[in-house]
Amino acid sequence: MTEESSGPRDIRVPEAKQPMFKELTENSDSPFFEETMTDLFVYAASYGYNRGLRTELEDSKHALFQRASLSESQVWILKSLAVKETEDPTILKDQAKIFEIAREFANGGIDQLYTEYTGPNNMFSQHSKSIIKLSDS
């Protein structure tokens, strides 16, 4: 591919995942309470990548947010995941593929995050420890 593809206008997730994103950002007992959908999406994609949870998209009819609402640093996080996953820096020219990979990791990541949130353990404590451990390395 010689030209850069423009990629999607909207970041779409499977319709069944939208309530998970909504609940995690709107429930006051969630560690993601009052975070934006973009923040949670990037976290879910990163978490999914870190855990090897790339999950094929069943359907993608629900627009979670517009791609333009991602910050430059958030876009670079998603680009980095795609480069690392494919081990091919030329993927940076294929915006559609970058966001497809990010959506697949977020798809698996949100499942796991939601399971942890609704499970018996203290999700906030577990994720705080993981973030501190990563920042130390």
Its domain, for residue 102, covers: 10-136
User: Does residue 70 fall inside a structural domain?
Assistant: yes
What local confidence, expressed as pLDDT, does residue 10 receive? 93
Residue 1: its pLDDT value, please?
39
Q: How does residue 83 score in pLDDT terms, banded at 50, 70 and 90?
A: very high
Residue 35 lies in a domain: yes
Q: What whole-number distance in Å separates Cα of residue 61 and Cα of residue 16?
A: 10
Q: What percent of the chain has pLDDT over 70?
A: 84
Number of Cβ atoms within 10 Å of the Cβ of 53 = 20
How many domains in the chain? 1
Q: Report the phi/psi class of residue 7: left, alpha or beta, with left for phi > 0 and alpha for psi in -120 to 50.
A: left
Q: Measuring CA to CA, how many Å separate 59 from each of 18, 91, 94?
A: 12, 23, 21
Single pTM value for the model: 0.85
Instruction: Answer whether residue 4 is part of any domain.
Output: no
pLDDT tens sequence across 35-51: 999 999 999 999 999 99
On whether residue 5 sits in a domain, the answer given is no
Query: Does 2 fall in a domain?
Result: no
Two tokens, residue 36: 């934006």
Q: What band does 2 get if pLDDT is binned at 50, 70 and 90?
A: very low
In a domain, 59, yes or no: yes
